[in-house]
Structure 1
Amino acid sequence: MTKRLGEKTIGYFENLGALQKQQYAVLAVLFDFDGTLTHPGSLNLSEIRNIIGCPAGKPILEYISSLPETESASAMATLDAFELEAAGRAVPNDGAEELISYLKAENIGMGIISRNTQAAIERAMRNFRQTRMSDFQVIISRDAEILPKPHPHGILLAAERMNVLPEQVMMVGDYIFDIQAGKQAKTL
């Protein structure tokens, strides 16, 4: 039996051309972490950019990956340290834990796809009251050997691990990379 997620608000989307309603089965929800499930703990990206020499407007992870190996390792260690410290100050976004509880009760699979490290995710999760890492079937961080968002690889890997099709997954995020990755993976 297919579970339906919030039929009135999520389960039906209007086809604007034909004005016909279509129903979509949501079997899994993948969340971005910072800014989606959490209020990030004041990560000073300008300071990080300045320290590692990343030009304004260039994504930090992509900049770091373009550096020679020794510089890349040093820049990544700097980013990791800043993120871990900020993760200690992160708090759940309003309604995040209630949504996770609802999805869990409805047996909707859940996962996290993040450009953060696993350690930063685990540290921030300690600030959740009801939600545990074990509530998520899959957590894919930048520690995984995958291309980061906006590449769809993480979403496709998560869908495979959750034994669902990408078309049965809803990707929820707060940044353009989340939207781009979701579209490329053909998620809802």
Structure 2
Amino acid sequence: MPMTIPDVAERDSTPLSPTDFDAILFDLDGTLIDTAPDLLFALNRVMAEENKPPLSLAELLPFVSGGSPAMLQRGFRIAPDEPGFAALQERFLALYRANVARSSRLFPGMETVLGHIEAGPLRWGIVTNKSAWLTEPLTAALGLDRRAACIVSGDTTEHLKPHPASLLLACQRIGVEPARCLYVGDAAKDVEAGQRAGMKTAAALFGYLTPEDKPEEWGADWLLSSPGALADWLATKTPR
């Protein structure tokens, strides 16, 4: 059962142990990397070209998990099936690709998490709905492509999360059983995908949640308030 107590100390507690796992898989945007500043930069550039007032980071954050359609809808009040949407999307994504690692960084504390994993018997990977033409330059710029045991992008398989195909492929590539994996993500679709793949799941409460999100109802095995909670868990319970 997921922890629903609002107290951070109790919410971050878990009966899970690192010895229960062979690998930890991470969602990318809003979980492993804070990509919102570069998405905002690209969106505001397009909005300026269209004489629209810029958005603040706080205004954009709840829409990041919805991808470019949600962000463009927020900025331009335009639906994906309306005339002009495709052209705006193309311009936005081209600008984002050109600035994909301008300000994006690992979330504070996440480098410590990866360090603990790499110092022990566990392996880690990335499973994201972000397309490979954006995922690959971002992870390469941050040096993560050389460290991750696998990187599965949104177009690596025929299905996006919450379908479990990408998570199951990650297990295949690493050579581990899904039941021996923990998947960490900041959206309901991440938790659902992990559950459908037969994994344990952790909801990243520090990610790009919307005001309407109710992560305590997602059914995650663990509610994480910060990367620090994951780092502490690994530091105290991972055999060396």
Residue of structure 1 in register with 2:125 after alignment: 111
Residue of structure 2 in register with 1:6 after alignment: none
Bigger relative CO (Cα 8 Å, ≥ 6 apart): 2
Equivalent positions of 1:86-165 (< 5 A) are 87-88=100-101, 89-125=103-139, 128=142, 131-165=143-177
Distance 2:128 2:120 in 1: 24
Deviations 1:1-33 (A, max 9, x none): xxxxxxxx66x34xxxxxxxx996210111000
Q: CA deviation at 1:118?
A: 2.4
The amino acid across from 1:133 in the alignment is D
Residue of structure 1 in register with 2:79 after alignment: 54
Residue of structure 2 in register with 1:58 after alignment: none
Structure 1 length normalisation: TM-score? Answer: 0.68
Cα contact 2:25–2:124 (8 A) shared by 1: yes
Distance 1:81 1:179 in 2: 30
Residue of structure 2 in register with 1:25 after alignment: 20
- Whether 2:194 is the aligned partner of 1:170: answer no
Cα contact 2:25–2:126 (8 A) shared by 1: yes
Distance 2:89 2:156 in 1: 14
Q: CA deviation at 1:143?
A: 2.7
- Whether 2:108 is the aligned partner of 1:84: answer no
Q: CA deviation at 1:124?
A: 2.9
Residue of structure 2 in register with 1:37 after alignment: 32
Seq. identity, %? 24
Cα contact 1:40–1:86 (8 A) shared by 2: no
Distance 1:167 1:111 in 2: 15
The amino acid across from 2:195 in the alignment is K
The amino acid across from 1:173 in the alignment is G
Q: CA deviation at 1:86?
A: 5.6
Mark the runs of 5 or more structure 1 residues left unpaired by the alignment: 1-8, 14-21, 56-62
Deviations 1:35-85 (A, max 9, x none): 111112332555523669436xxxxxxx8xxx9xxx97x677456425425
The amino acid across from 2:97 in the alignment is L
The amino acid across from 1:122 in the alignment is E
Aligned length: 156
DSSP-derived class of the 1:29 partner: strand
Distance 2:152 2:18 in 1: 28
Equivalent positions of 1:60-71 (< 5 A) are none
The amino acid across from 1:40 in the alignment is T
The amino acid across from 2:159 in the alignment is L
Q: Which moves more between the two structures, 75-84 or 141-150?
A: 75-84
After superposition, the Cα gap between the structure-2 partners of 1:47 and 1:164, relative to the gap in structure 1 and judged at 3 Å, is closer
Distance 1:53 1:177 in 2: 24
